[in-house]
């Protein structure tokens, strides 16, 4: 049965970093969902007339967008989000690793997977790319939970064979074998996509990185996700651990772990050679602004990265990031943009959280846009969800001024509806 959703539908037809915001976006009065896909966009009256059989959901002035795409997060860290007072390495050792240890218990993994997907949807996020833990059952748990909800999720077994506690280490062979088995089970099953997942160079031996590089060469249409140059202490540690590497990126590049389907979380403290290589291969840089401020990592220079032609997406990085809300992430990206001399336009922020992140996952033909025939993963935002937001948006002269208060001050209270593959989820 077709559903006609009426509101203020925002459809990006171009990249707002390349053309002015008003040329990048089109506004429509409604969207027709049929068979789980976007079937038509247009004026409300025209759509009603052309599709009298469709059930009508009238959301008034709500903004209807592609569902948010969170391009880097850690579902196993939901239980320790907002843990106080540490920086990256001692934060991992103090809070993260003890929590990840619990995912050897498949029932706990299933509980946290379902909890996390529920929180994501409540915040309007319909796709996420998540690290799991070292335990293969943590990967099954997330993909099963996503399948039950019809969600397109990217995930992979987090591989670590050194600098991690007992019980959280694999080895090059088992990392390869477990990842290969999971990849064959899940990649392309329904909406699932597998990402080969070395956590980061400090917790993998060169042999483990080489094994995962070989696996990626065997399955090049898989994604690969990791962390890169998040904190200066970490970069110095990588230099000690890999004395022959030209730089941090080279620890991945030398083992076949640099490519267009690679997702590099944070990527803050980059050398010129690293920036050149990332751009040349069209790798995905994932900006995690709420995490970068929370763990004290540094300021990602979005203006410079876009100007030099990098592909960039946005992510929560929960539990390093302290919110499941991509609105909070956009607000933090705006603030960091101000600190680095680039005030990001609301169109650019919304594009990064939808099309931009979908492009990093190589899914922009299906999600992150409102193109006809794409999957109807949608979010509707109430642009006056709190009194403070409502009084400001009431004065707006155009759509961008109406939406910016929600970008800056909004959270899950702004979620007025969520559709996953055309089915109402919230």
Nearest residue (CB) to Zn ion, 4 versus 270 = 270
Question: Binding residue for ligand GUN (CB under 6 A) from 157, 199, 305, 359?
Answer: 199
Q: Pick out residues in 273-292 that bind ligand GUN (CB under 6 A).
A: 291
CB-CB neighbours of 352 under 10 Å: 29
Q: Pick out residues in 29-88 that bind ligand GUN (CB under 6 A).
A: 74, 88
Nearest residue (CB) to ligand GUN, 96 versus 208 = 96
Binding region for Zn ion (CB under 5 A) out of 17-25, 119-127, 260-268, 375-383: 260-268
* Per-residue contact flags (x/-) with ligand GUN for residues 306 to 345, judged by CB under 6 A: -----------x--x-------------------------
What is the sign of the dihedral through the CA atoms of 363, 366, 367 and 369? positive
The C-alpha atoms of residue 322 and residue 291 are separated, in whole angstroms, by 7
Q: Min. distance of Cβ 109 from ligand GUN in angstroms?
A: 16
Nearest residue (CB) to ligand GUN, 193 versus 267 = 267
Q: Min. distance of Cβ 390 from ligand GUN in angstroms?
A: 34
Q: Pick out residues in 152-191 that bind ligand GUN (CB under 6 A).
A: none
The C-alpha atoms of residue 34 and residue 423 are separated, in whole angstroms, by 10
Strands (E), 302-414: 311-314, 378-381
String of DSSP letters for 62-119: EEEEEPEEEEEEEGGGGGG-S--S--HHHHIIIIIHHHHHGGGSHHHHHHHHHHHHHH
Nearest residue (CB) to ligand GUN, 88 versus 224 = 88
Among the listed residues 353, 385, 311, the one whose alpha carbon sits nearest the alpha carbon of residue 125: 353
Q: Inter-axis angle of helices 136-149 and 172-186, to 10 degrees?
A: 20
The C-alpha atoms of residue 5 and residue 58 are separated, in whole angstroms, by 6
Q: Min. distance of Cβ 266 from Zn ion in angstroms?
A: 7
Question: Binding residue for Zn ion (CB under 5 A) from 198, 213, 265, 410?
Answer: 265
The C-alpha atoms of residue 385 and residue 379 are separated, in whole angstroms, by 14
Q: By CB under 6 A, tell whether 197 contacts ligand GUN.
A: no
Find the largest Cα–Cα distance for the chain: 68
63: left (phi over 0), alpha (psi -120 to 50) or beta: beta
* Per-residue contact flags (x/-) with ligand GUN for residues 86 to 125, judged by CB under 6 A: --x---x---x-----------------------------
Structure-token pair, residue 248: 């941090």
* Contacted by 230, from Zn ion, ligand GUN, none: CB < 5 to 8 Å by type: ligand GUN
* Contacted by 96, from Zn ion, ligand GUN, none: CB < 5 to 8 Å by type: ligand GUN
Nearest residue (CB) to ligand GUN, 17 versus 97 = 97
The SS3 assignment for 421 reads coil
Q: How far apart are the first and last CA of the chain?
A: 18
Q: By CB under 6 A, tell whether 250 contacts ligand GUN.
A: no
Q: By CB under 6 A, tell whether 200 contacts ligand GUN.
A: yes
Q: By CB under 5 A, tell whether 317 contacts Zn ion.
A: yes
Q: By CB under 6 A, tell whether 230 contacts ligand GUN.
A: yes
Question: Residue 106 CA to chain centroid, in angstroms?
Answer: 24
Among the listed residues 334, 328, 287, the one whose alpha carbon sits nearest the alpha carbon of residue 119: 328
The SS3 assignment for 229 reads coil
The residues that touch ligand GUN, with contacts defined as CB under 6 A, are 74, 88, 92, 96, 199-200, 227, 230, 291, 295, 317, 320
Judged by the rule CB under 5 A, the positions of this chain that interact with Zn ion are 265, 317
């Amino acid at each position: 049965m077709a559903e006609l959703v009426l509101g203020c539908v925002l459809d990006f037809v171009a990249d707002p970093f390349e053309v002015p915001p008003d040329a990048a976006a089109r506004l429509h009065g409604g969207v027709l969902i049929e068979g789980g896909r976007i079937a038509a966009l247009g004026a409300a009256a025209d759509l009603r007339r052309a599709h009298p059989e469709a059930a009508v959901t009238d959301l008034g002035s709500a903004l209807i967008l592609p569902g948010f795409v969170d391009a880097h997060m850690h579902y196993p860290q939901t239980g320790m989000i907002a843990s106080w007072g540490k920086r990256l390495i001692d934060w991992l050792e103090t809070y993260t690793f003890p929590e990840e240890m619990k995912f050897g218990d498949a029932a706990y993994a299933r509980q946290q997977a379902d909890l996390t997907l529920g929180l994501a949807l409540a915040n309007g996020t319909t796709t996420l790319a998540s690290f799991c833990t070292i335990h293969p059952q943590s990967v099954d748990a997330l993909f099963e939970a996503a399948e039950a909800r019809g969600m397109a999720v990217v995930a992979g077994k987090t591989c670590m064979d050194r600098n991690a506690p007992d019980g959280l280490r694999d080895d090059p062979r088992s990392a390869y074998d477990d990842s290969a088995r999971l990849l064959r089970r899940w990649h392309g099953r329904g909406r699932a996509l597998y990402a080969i997942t070395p956590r980061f160079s400090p917790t993998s031996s060169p042999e483990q990185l080489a094994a995962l590089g070989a696996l990626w060469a065997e399955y090049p249409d898989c994604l690969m996700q990791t962390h890169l140059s998040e904190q200066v202490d970490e970069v110095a540690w990588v230099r000690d651990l890999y004395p022959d590497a030209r730089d941090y990126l080279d620890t991945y590049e030398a083992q076949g772990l640099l490519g267009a389907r690679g997702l590099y979380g944070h990527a803050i403290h980059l050398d010129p050679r690293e920036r050149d290589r990332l751009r040349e291969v069209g790798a995905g840089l994932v900006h995690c602004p709420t995490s970068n401020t929370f763990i004290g990592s540094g300021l990602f220079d979005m203006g410079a990265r876009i100007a030099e032609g990098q592909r960039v997406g946005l992510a929560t990085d929960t539990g390093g990031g302290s919110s499941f809300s991509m609105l909070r992430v956009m607000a933090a990206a705006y603030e960091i943009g101000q600190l680095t001399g680039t005030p990001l336009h609301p169109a650019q922020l919304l594009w990064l959280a939808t099309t931009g992140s979908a492009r990093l996952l190589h899914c922009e033909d299906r999600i992150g846009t409102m193109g006809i025939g794409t999957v109807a993963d949608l979010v509707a935002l109430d642009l006056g969800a709190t009194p403070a937001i409502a009084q400001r948006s009431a004065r707006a002269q155009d759509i961008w001024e109406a939406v910016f208060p929600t970008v800056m001050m909004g959270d899950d209270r702004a979620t007025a509806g969520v559709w996953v593959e055309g089915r109402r989820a919230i």
